[in-house]
Amino acid sequence: MTEAVEAVDNNCLAVVVTYNPDITALLKLLGQLNKETKFIVIDNGTPRIDELAESIEVYERCLELRKLGENQGLARALNIGIQAARESDCDYVCLFDQDSSLCDLFVERMIDGYRSAEAQSEKGVAAVGPRIINPQTMRQTPFKLFNRLMLRSDRAFKGSPTHFMADFLITSGTLLALKHVAVIGDMKESYFIDNVDLEWCFRAKSFGFDLIGTDSAVLYHAIGERSQDPLVRAGIMAQHNPARTYYSSRNRTHLYGMKYSPVGWKIRDLARFLIKAAWLLISSHNRRQYWQNIRSGIRDAKSLS
């Protein structure tokens, strides 16, 4: 049994989405969350989830382990969690991947960061994201602005030494203000997995809200899979399996056609996409699968709603 935890109401629900998780990494994350906030785990069709259920539900602040039975997609799972936060009358929802790890007092730091940024924002802050550090390389991920030729990363927000303007925040660790989600809308379920966070962030910005990155909290998270590829090891691109390439190709192609996608992002991402595709087709042993999935994804983009 876990140790008893003093009840503290921070008006936040943490949502952890799982799919075939590394149970050691998952339980470490849940243990960190259990010290601070209530949380819900939404499983997207893990075959052995019943074997893991007791280890997950033992935590005092675990409100529910919701088993979806089949993989309904990251966006659908996140929306279920967002709705659970609404039903719990929360002010905030904090989203997590299953393999992230947190600094001490992560949720408290994120809420404090949100409140200080919101007080300085003229438009309102839709979401705050933590500083991301890749535990494999210890590289920090910058907070990016896509429509600026100069100072496109880590540009201070209102002169703050800890807060930064952003056009994009990755899903894991991001704190959303539910009052603004009601205006922006939920995650785009037709995207299923890749670029879900990117699309939501672009939509939030199109409504005039600010997105803020903060150094007040740190989340340790590796984007993509481990690889010996020199471009991946150098942090130039993330490695995903061929199946994921279908969704990333389809969804980014769809985003290129959206009016609310920043022009600067479209130009840079298209160039990056072409370079990455060419590199995979040249260097990967799975080049046939990559080619088929990239081609199918581009073709199917027009069918997305």
The least confident of 151-160, 164-173, 205-214, 237-246 is: 237-246
Q: Each residue of 290-302: pLDDT tens digit?
A: 999 999 999 999 9
Q: Where are the alpha helices (DSSP H) in the chain?
A: 23-34, 49-57, 74-87, 106-120, 178-184, 196-206, 230-233, 242-256, 263-283, 287-300
Residues 253-260 have a mean pLDDT of: 97
Residue pair 142/98 in contact by the 8 Å Cβ criterion: no
pLDDT digits (tens, 9 = 90+) for 76-120: 999 999 999 999 999 999 999 999 999 999 999 999 999 999 999
C-alpha pair distances (Å), 257 with each of 6, 176, 253, 261, 294 = 49, 26, 7, 8, 17
In the chain, the amino acid numbered 271 is A
In whole angstroms, give the CA distance from residue 123 to residue 253. Answer: 29
Count of beta carbons in the 10 Å neighbourhood of residue 13: 26
Cα of 23 vs its chain's centroid, Å: 20
**Residue 161, token pair as written in the block:** 């030494």
C-beta of residue 237 within 8 angstroms of C-beta of residue 276: yes
Give the model's pLDDT for residue 137.
85
The pLDDT score that the predictor gives to residue 85 is 98
pTM of the model: 0.91
Label residue 9 by pLDDT band (50, 70, 90). low
What are the extents of the domains in the chain? 12-220, 230-303
> Residue 6: what pLDDT?
46
Distance separating alpha carbons of residues 59 and 51, to the nearest angstrom: 16
From residue 76, give the alpha-carbon distance in Å to each of 2, 4, 164, 191, 211.
30, 32, 29, 9, 22
Q: Is the pLDDT assigned to residue 3 strictly greater than 50? A: no
Residue 7 has pLDDT above 50, yes or no: no
pLDDT at 2: 43
pLDDT band at 185 (very low <50, low <70, confident <90, very high): very high
User: What pLDDT is stored for residue 151 in this prediction?
Assistant: 64
Residue 223 identity (one-letter amino acid): I
| Residue 243 φ/ψ, nearest 5 degrees | -60, -40
- The pair of three-digit structure tokens given for residue 152, joined into one six-digit string: 């496109």
Per-residue tokens: 50? 């019943």
Residue 233: per-residue pLDDT: 53
pLDDT tens by residue, 220-256 = 998 755 545 555 455 455 566 888 999 999 999 999 9
Question: The tokens of 202 are what?
Answer: 């672009």
Kindly tell me if the per-residue pLDDT of 182 is higher than 50: yes
What tens digit of pLDDT does each residue of 12-71 get?
Answer: 999 999 999 999 999 999 999 999 999 999 999 999 999 999 999 999 999 999 999 999
Taking only the tens place, the pLDDT of each residue in 187-227 is 999 999 999 999 999 999 999 999 999 999 999 998 755 54
Q: Kindly give the pairing relationship between strand 125-133 and strand 210-220.
A: parallel
Mean pLDDT of 269-273: 93
pLDDT for residue 205: 98
Residue 130 pLDDT: 98
Residue 210, phi-psi category: left (phi > 0), alpha (psi -120 to 50), beta (remainder): beta
Residue whose token pair is 């389809």: 250
Residue 225 has a pLDDT of 54
Centroid of chain to Cα 104: 20
Residue 60 to residue 1: CA distance in whole angstroms: 9
| Residue 279: how many other CB atoms lie within 10 Å | 16
**How is residue 245 written in tokens?**
């390439």
The confidence score (pLDDT) of residue 152 equals: 81
Q: What is the pLDDT of residue 175?
A: 98
Reading phi first (left if > 0) and then psi (alpha if -120 to 50, else beta), residue 57 is in: alpha
Q: What is the reported pLDDT for 221?
A: 92
Calpha distance 33→14 (Å, rounded): 8
CA distance 189 to 172: 17
Instruction: Tokens for 246, please give them.
Output: 């279908």
CATH architecture observed for domain 12-220 = Alpha-Beta Complex (3.90)
